[in-house]
Structure 1
């Protein structure tokens, strides 16, 4: 193994042992700083010299299928990495900066599979989401910022559904973050003509019971996804939004009409991941969710607000509740 390949291996092992979700390489004039993102926080790991980083970057670009000679345009690539019995998919992204390129690596475990029960701090929220999945058509949205666990939740839901029902399930993803048995997973590739829109049209011809759209990113995808849900399919998807109420405002900005939201949207789960203390039945991070459905959802759609005294638990309320149960430190409440 070359010195560059060995450095890569040691960095990846260190990141995995630290339960990091991302590795950031930040180039400066004389050095490159390496940070790990662990439990949502960016932690300094080490520094390397610029010449060493140039070799490491070329190694990553070559092994992930990027163009080594291209330094002026952002690029993306993927690498498969195995550590003993654990398999990881590495999603690499370069970004041109002055006289160099920065690199970010997302670490996606392929063999780890969290059950739904272990994803949420409060079991009642998990049971409520289970009730949503009994619908045969309509749209269920999971929202939140990048890194809030939306995709992990979607995968866990799909796996739970497939175990209980003989569903024809199709996913449209960019990229496919985890391979799941008994599900048709379609990789969106705009350069090859497989856009979300084209993929959705093709998926509908495959007689699906369930469609998962990895992320609603634009007006066209939003409108087609809602059309699929309106015509008799159960559609699960994710969207970047601040909170549950903000999700409705974002959808309206994307051109989804109030009547379509009212007729098609089953529910919204806006998600946040929190670092957990003293809970052996939970992983090191678990989710709290602002859940919105039924009459509360209808009110929010038509009035753009919540009723004065709604049966609604906000993120602030849920954080205080988690602290009272001993799951959170005081610093995480504020």
Structure 2
């Protein structure tokens, strides 16, 4: 853990072999070899972490997950742990989330203009904001940052529904969905609406029932923010249509869609130039959104910048490498 934090790792992976377990760090999106330990030492470590996070130590046939608070000289960290059953063993992955090092929205994006536009979306009293992209593209970080900025500025009552709660944040009512216990997103959303929220965050829209309920909440006067897996911004429209939402639902509910991708770019810290990952986003809003819902291809939407356009722009302005 000490080495992972000093290297700025976001994840630790334990990959079991026959006699040893290989440990990797995820740093700036890349997976680096760290060390090997004996399988016996790993079994003790795994049992300790499963017990500490409330997992079933005896259960090795199904995936499990849990969270743990880690106290370090640098501060407090939330650890999100997950196990995966293998033929002879279980693998373990640990996501490291800082409880004190919250970035500003400007720091997350290559282009500050995109960060400012997202903040303006949060000024709406009702509707739905969707953040899309593959796993590891920074959707959750952006969502948390937007929520934190909005609650601090306006004193909003914000309720989150998550599976699991990824990061504990002050002044947010964070509800952990537990599908095994029958507490799913549908039930959570119905309960949240009775709690007089200004903003509802749905960790992820995974299925038709969650999508329809989230959009219904947006139509009945609530601001909803959520993530959904889609290849790009325009592809999100097709994904929602597949989930049974009509064009009218989309037109009446969606404030904007931002599809994220992380690229390496130059940043300055204490006068030194360092390479870090930051987000570029395909963004659909107002007339561009109307065109996309109407079926206009992305290359024909006026003012729309695709990932390819944004990468070229970042390189041309000297922000990123070829």
- TM-score scaled by structure 1? 0.91
SS in 1 for 2:234: helix
The equivalent of 1:319 in structure 2 is 311
CA apart distance, 1:293: 0.9
The equivalent of 1:3 in structure 2 is none
The equivalent of 1:293 in structure 2 is 285
SS in 1 for 2:82: strand
| Structure-to-structure mapping, 1:1-334, within 5 angstroms | 12-280=1-269, 284-303=276-295, 305-306=297-298, 308=300, 310-330=302-322
Decide whether the 8 Å contact of 1:245 with 1:304 is kept in 2.
no
Distance, in Å, in 1 between the alignment partners of 2:229 and 2:56 is 30
* Count of residue pairs brought into register by the alignment: 319
Distance, in Å, in 1 between the alignment partners of 2:172 and 2:60 is 37
Which stretch has the larger CA shift, 230-239 or 283-292?
283-292
Deviations 1:272-331 (A, max 9, x none): 12222244499822111111111111111121622525211111111111112222121x
Q: Which runs of 5+ in 1 are unaligned?
A: 1-11
CA apart distance, 1:65: 1.5
Decide whether the 8 Å contact of 1:145 with 1:241 is kept in 2.
yes
Decide whether the 8 Å contact of 1:154 with 1:236 is kept in 2.
yes
SS in 1 for 2:298: coil
The equivalent of 1:4 in structure 2 is none
SS in 2 for 1:303: coil
SS in 1 for 2:260: strand
Decide whether the 8 Å contact of 2:63 with 2:85 is kept in 1.
yes
Decide whether the 8 Å contact of 1:226 with 1:260 is kept in 2.
yes
Q: Which runs of 5+ in 2 are unaligned?
A: none
- TM-score scaled by structure 2? 0.94
Query: In angstroms, what is the RMSD of aligned CA positions?
Result: 1.7
CA apart distance, 1:81: 0.6
